[in-house]
Amino acid sequence: MEYRYLGSTGMKVSELCMGTMQFGWTADESQSYRILSESFEAGINFLDTADVYSRWADGNPGGVAETIIGKWMRQNNIPRHQVILATKVRSRVGDGPNDEGLSRQHIFYAVEASLRRLDTDYIDLYQAHWYDEHTPIEETLRAFEDLIKQGKVRYIGCSNYPAWRLTEALWTAEHHHLARYVSLQPHYSLVYRAEFERELADVCRRYGLGVIPYSPLAAGFLSGKYRKGGTVESARARGAGRHFNERNWALLENLEAMGKEKGEKSISQIALAWLLTDPLITSPIIGPRTSEQLKDNLGAAGLRLSQEEKKNLDDASRWENA
């Protein structure tokens, strides 16, 4: 497993990030512990979660993924300094009027709840899950700044920010001498490129932000389990279904052929390698729910594409800049 600096920070993270949205949803508690242990033993030191995971699942009140991580670390005596914990704030986590958003009030409440569930004194990377149109960005950044001064947070990042809001946040931090976002977590994959590449990529490149793409396998579409005319029973089948079109079926065939040429690599491994080959990308977030899926994902570690292979996939999945 290779390690990379997270943006302009001196913090090194594994080239694959373990996502935990599936914990307490499509992976039960015991399976989640197994995945965490196997990934840690394989060299993954970067764990991404959120306070809301996975509140949409039946019987899940939210915060379950954070709780599982905290229990796993405690029960296995995992040295805290050997794990980079990233979590998020913004989503609704209760029924009160201030139980969501990026206000100072909610951030201060939410961070204490996350620290308690994670069973830790500090969060390495605290991320705004998406922007809050009702809260001035300066208020949000000052709250984050105070958490850093208190030692409860090391660095801050954001997810699902449009380019204009991200630029505003970076400018506000510089103008008011506040802590700034060091990373962006965008929705990005071979079959979902435009949202990140249109403007956000240039902002990240210009300001040295780390890029941590989520859904790099497009809700499982790029795992190879979906085929034209076939059906798959999966909790995430609806998300994958948005990519069902002739161009993407052809892309899967392209990925499969390239994998065979590179020594029987899987479709998902080539899709992850496409991201890892880009120097702008820090660490794609994988989300295996079984040991078999984790083993497959780990096969992408250290895998890189040649310039010709990268261009081949770029051209096959190109979007039009209208």
Q: Could you read off the pLDDT of 211-228 as tens digits, one per residue?
A: 999 999 999 999 988 877
Q: What is the pLDDT of residue 227?
A: 76
| 127, β-bridge pairs | 88, 157
Return the C-alpha torsion angle 199, 202, 206, 207, nearest 10: 50
Q: Could you read off the pLDDT of 164-213 as tens digits, one per residue?
A: 999 999 999 999 999 999 999 999 999 999 999 999 999 999 999 999 99
Tell me whether residue 214 is one of the annotated catalytic residues.
no
The verdict on pTM exceeding 0.75 is yes
| Contact in structure between 284 and 17 (CB atoms under 8 Å) | yes
Question: The tokens of 227 are what?
Answer: 């085929």
DSSP secondary structure string for all residues of 257-293: HHHHHTTS--HHHHHHHHHHTSTT----EE--SSHHH
Fold of 3-218+280-303: TIM Barrel (3.20.20)
- List the 285-286 sheet strands across, edge first: 210-211, 181-185, 153-159, 123-128, 84-89, 46-48, 17-19, 285-286
Asked whether the predicted pLDDT for residue 238 surpasses 90, the reply is no
Q: Name the residue ranges covered by the structural domains of the chain.
A: 3-218+280-303
Q: Could you read off the pLDDT of 279-298 as tens digits, one per residue?
A: 999 999 999 999 999 999 99
Query: Which among 140, 143, 178 is positioned nearest to 161, based on CA atoms?
Result: 140
Q: Report how far Cα 21 is from the mean position of its chain's Cα atoms.
A: 10
DSSP state of 177: T
Q: Could you read off the pLDDT of 145-162 as tens digits, one per residue?
A: 999 999 999 999 999 999
| AA letter at 131 | Y
Rg of the chain over CA atoms, in angstroms? 19
The catalytic residue among 3, 5, 53, 214 is: 53
Asked whether the predicted pLDDT for residue 38 surpasses 70, the reply is yes
